[in-house]
Amino acid sequence: MNRPTSEALFERSRRLIPGGVNSPVRAFRSVGGTPVFFARAQGAYLWDVDGQRYIDYIGSWGPAILGHADPGVLEVVAAAARNGLSFGAPTEGELRLAEALVAAIPSIETVRLVSSGTEATMSAIRVARGHTGRSRIVKFEGCYHGHGDSLLVKAGSGALTLGQPSSAGVPPELAQHTLVLDYNNAEAAEQLFAQMGDTIAAVIVEPIAGNMNLVLPEPGFLQRLRELCTRHGTVLIFDEVMTGFRVGAGCAQGLYGITPDLTTFGKVIGGGMPLGAFGGRRDVMEKVAPVGPVYQAGTLSGNPVAVAAGLATLERVLAPGFFARLEATTQSLCESLCAAGRAAGVPISAQCVGGMFGLYFRDSPPRNFADVMQSDVTAFNTFFHRMLEAGVYLAPSAFEAGFVSIAHTAEDIAHTAQAASRALAA
Ligand code: HOZ
């Protein structure tokens, strides 16, 4: 399909912005071709600068759980903006958002608002190190926790998509404190803790991995991490930037019945505005300045417009029945995609949790990074472009999860299924 304006804008952007984009995975490097430039969005749809409409399964990488430009959210955002865009001083809205998070998630006793998921994870790691007086942290291969130095080691998301899971510019002296284990391998965690558990400040994990496509935790995996951390005085951090209020009203920790020491949030809690948070056990969070010695600050932290968008979004997401409806839509999408694959004789699989899904070009869902790497990336890339031409916007990478909103209708799913049948049969 000809997208003349996107192509012209990308050409200009490449001269001024590294790779023409402000976040690497947007550049279409792994799928090839020119990224689509968008002009507007409403509900489940995006319109590009050439006027083409797409059913959107990225949802701004997670935040757009109500669909785009939800009228109720826009109204409160406009009202908040009229009262001032930023004060750099406390507001009642921040307190109300903190109250909402504490009320919704039992593990959150106190919480600090920041402006992005990366800030939340970076800060949570610093707090864990400050709390324990230890340097080492443990993460899992293919999990992505934002682009903080300590966390860009064997990372997922854009880093994985571009084949740079460990970034240049991270001093080896720092990276050596980050130990990497296989996702879903509790035995390896057990062995590592037996050797050096008492020197590990934190284990950080995506309780449902969403940055190496979607990988679910196997029964007992998260529980074993909880037990090891408790036994060794290590801070267990659940990175729920992606899963927070996206997989269920109680987040992933509610689904699996695990109480982490700290949790990080982003995406949905900002309702499409830049907002993140980290919170958890009071004694750990009391290490944060100005109460404690761990410094963390931000001019736009708790921004009143972002907080208003987040509160309006959470109110809707936490209403009874929201997730049952959302998951039914996501489930029907996954079933349709698998049926299209079977009919075309193409080995694909799919699964979902809440409003998040994984579509895999392999015959069964992966359980770790090595499985993810066995996907047929070439087949995915062809599928991606055929879907794009049919007006369906999927993540431009075989290694990203997909997102469904409450605004997606049965007709949207049916249209997507037809497009997938044609794309796979071609
Ligand atoms: N890291 C995000 C997906 N897991 C991509 C963010 C973006 O490109 O906007």
- pLDDT tens for each residue of 382-408: 999 999 999 999 999 999 999 999 999
C-alpha of residue 62 to centroid of ligand 1, in Å: 9
| Protein residues with CB under 6 Å of any ligand 1 atom | 23, 25-26, 61, 157-158, 211, 400
Angle among Cα 113, 402, 62 to the nearest 5 degrees reads: 20
C-alpha of residue 176 to centroid of ligand 1, in Å: 26
61, 211, 214, best to mutate for ligand 1 pocket (most atoms within 8 Å of CB): 61
C-alpha of residue 243 to centroid of ligand 1, in Å: 14
- pLDDT tens for each residue of 34-71: 999 999 999 999 999 999 999 999 999 999 999 999 99
Closest CA to 365 of 199, 167, 212: 212
CA dihedral 88, 91, 94, 99 (to 10 degrees): 150
Q: Where are the beta strands (DSSP E) in 6-100?
A: 38-42, 45-48, 53-56
Angle among Cα 134, 113, 303 to the nearest 5 degrees reads: 145
pLDDT value, residue 160: 63
pLDDT value, residue 103: 98
C-alpha of residue 333 to centroid of ligand 1, in Å: 22
Ligand 1 atom closest to Cα of residue 210: 4
- Pick the residue whose CA is nearest to atom 9 on ligand 1: 23
Instruction: Look up the CATH superfamily of 4-69+321-425.
Output: Aspartate Aminotransferase, domain 1 (3.90.1150.10)
The CATH number for 71-317, chosen from 3.40.50.2020, 3.30.70.100, 3.40.50.1400, 3.40.640.10, is 3.40.640.10
From CA 228, how far away is CA 140, in angstroms rounded? 15
C-alpha of residue 187 to centroid of ligand 1, in Å: 31
Rounded to a whole number of angstroms, the distance between the first and last alpha carbons of the chain is 16
46-53, Cβ contacts within 8 angstroms, sequence gap of 24 or more: 46/393, 48/3, 48/5, 48/6, 49/3, 49/5, 49/6, 49/9, 50/2, 50/3, 50/4, 50/5, 50/6, 52/1, 52/3, 52/391, 53/391
30, 157, 208, best to mutate for ligand 1 pocket (most atoms within 8 Å of CB): 157
pLDDT value, residue 407: 98
Residues in the chain with pLDDT < 70? Answer: 157-165
Ligand 1 atom closest to Cα of residue 26: 8
Contact 18, 386 (CB under 8 A): no
The residue behind tokens 């070439």 is: 378
Contact 288, 110 (CB under 8 A): no
pLDDT value, residue 156: 72
Look at the alpha carbons of 244, 210, 192, 129 in this order and tell me if their dihedral is positive or negative. negative
Ligand 1 atom closest to Cα of residue 24: 8
Ligand 1 atom closest to Cα of residue 61: 3
pLDDT value, residue 158: 66
Q: What are 3's two structure tokens? A: 């997208």
C-alpha of residue 56 to centroid of ligand 1, in Å: 15
- Pick the residue whose CA is nearest to atom 8 on ligand 1: 23
Boundaries of every domain in the chain: 4-69+321-425, 71-317
Classify residue 13 by its DSSP letter: H
22, 23, 167, 212, best to mutate for ligand 1 pocket (most atoms within 8 Å of CB): 23
Ligand 1 atom closest to Cα of residue 401: 4
Please indicate, yes or no, whether the overall pTM of this predicted structure exceeds 0.85. yes
The residues that are catalytic are 144, 239, 267
From CA 73, how far away is CA 268, in angstroms rounded? 12
